[in-house]
Amino acid sequence: MASRGLHHVTAIAGPAQRNLNFYTHVLGLRLVKKTVNFDDPGTYHFYFGNESGAPGTILTFFPWEHVAPGRLGIGETQETVFRVPEGAIGWWLQRFVEKGIAHGTPEKRFGETVLPFRDPDGLRLALAGIAGVENEPAGNTGLPADVAIRGFHSVSLLLAEAAPTGAILTDVLGYAEIAREGSLVRYRAGDTAVGGILDIREAGGFLPARMGGGSVHHVAFRAAGDADQAAMVRRLADNHRLAVTEQRDRNYFRSVYFREPGGVLFEIATDDPGFAVDEPAESLGTALKLPAFLEGHRSRIEKVLPALA
């Protein structure tokens, strides 16, 4: 079966430099691509991930210097969770205290230890301690290998009800429901280890979300390639009467978008061609990369973008 689960998560941030510093210096992720929002080229688009920017490890941001803060509510992604070695939670708790990072206390969910925290814009994040993860390569993160992040664990969606979205997850996106705990319903994409889990928190009656700084903009799911993506699009149309956008070329993957029944913007993105398509794997993220259709406007774009240290 083709690889399933999360491809990337895209969120909205405030000042670009602050965003960059947090994800690289505090969390030890790699900036694997520095480009612009193809639909708004005066804004950066940062991609953070593991060493190669593999699907299932990529958190991306549109940083707007003066963005208004969002408000979490129904029809939105509630939390984005990374995998760390089981024994690393205490180390991270200490790090968050030392660096003044807003965080909660470790809690148990589905038997796993989870440490919730926030990024500088208030984006809800967490670390899940997973047994055996310390044996997976960590790459060059600047952090000790036995604590470093190993891609996504999951996202949770805050929805009025789980069933309509669950039907899309299970019939189209390769997930199966595997557990329930309180108001949480857990889905898993086959045996995908990195980014294979998605939780729905049912919270009927909660206020609707207002998107802004610290909000997740959309969640992208993996397709192996164009044929696999097209088959998923057909199932959405035939079985769920859901139409997607036309395919958009995002340079590093090709994407279609649709609004799932719970209100969250979903994307289906191809695994190919990946981030090494326009710069060497060793130097990912060091130069500002533009798609061909914007290359002619490079000097103007570089003038508008905030300077980065």
Q: What minimum distance in Å lies between the beta carbon of 46 and Zn ion?
A: 12
Closer by beta carbon to Zn ion, 40 or else 181? 40
Q: What minimum distance in Å lies between the beta carbon of 25 and Zn ion?
A: 24
Assess 267 for contact with Zn ion (CB under 5 A).
Answer: yes
Residue closest to 147 by CA, chosen among 165, 162, 129: 129
- Judged by CB under 5 A, the residue of 3, 9, 10, 75 near Zn ion is 10
CA dihedral 202, 153, 119, 16 (to 10 degrees): -120
Q: What minimum distance in Å lies between the beta carbon of 7 and Zn ion?
A: 8
Closer by beta carbon to Zn ion, 61 or else 175? 61
Assess 220 for contact with Zn ion (CB under 5 A).
Answer: yes
Q: What minimum distance in Å lies between the beta carbon of 266 and Zn ion?
A: 10
Candidates 6-14, 16-24, 48-56, 73-81; binding stretch for Zn ion (CB under 5 A): 6-14
Q: What minimum distance in Å lies between the beta carbon of 58 and Zn ion?
A: 9
Closer by beta carbon to Zn ion, 20 or else 216? 216
Candidates 5-13, 119-127, 136-144, 301-309; binding stretch for Zn ion (CB under 5 A): 5-13
Closer by beta carbon to Zn ion, 7 or else 30? 7
Candidates 184-192, 201-209, 217-225, 280-288; binding stretch for Zn ion (CB under 5 A): 217-225
Closer by beta carbon to Zn ion, 55 or else 85? 55
Q: What minimum distance in Å lies between the beta carbon of 182 and Zn ion?
A: 30
Candidates 164-172, 240-248, 260-268, 275-283; binding stretch for Zn ion (CB under 5 A): 260-268
Who contacts 183 (Cβ-Cβ below 8 Å, separation ≥6)?
Answer: 201, 202, 203
Q: How many residues bind Zn ion (CB under 5 A)?
A: 3
- Per CB under 5 A, residues contacting Zn ion are 10, 220, 267
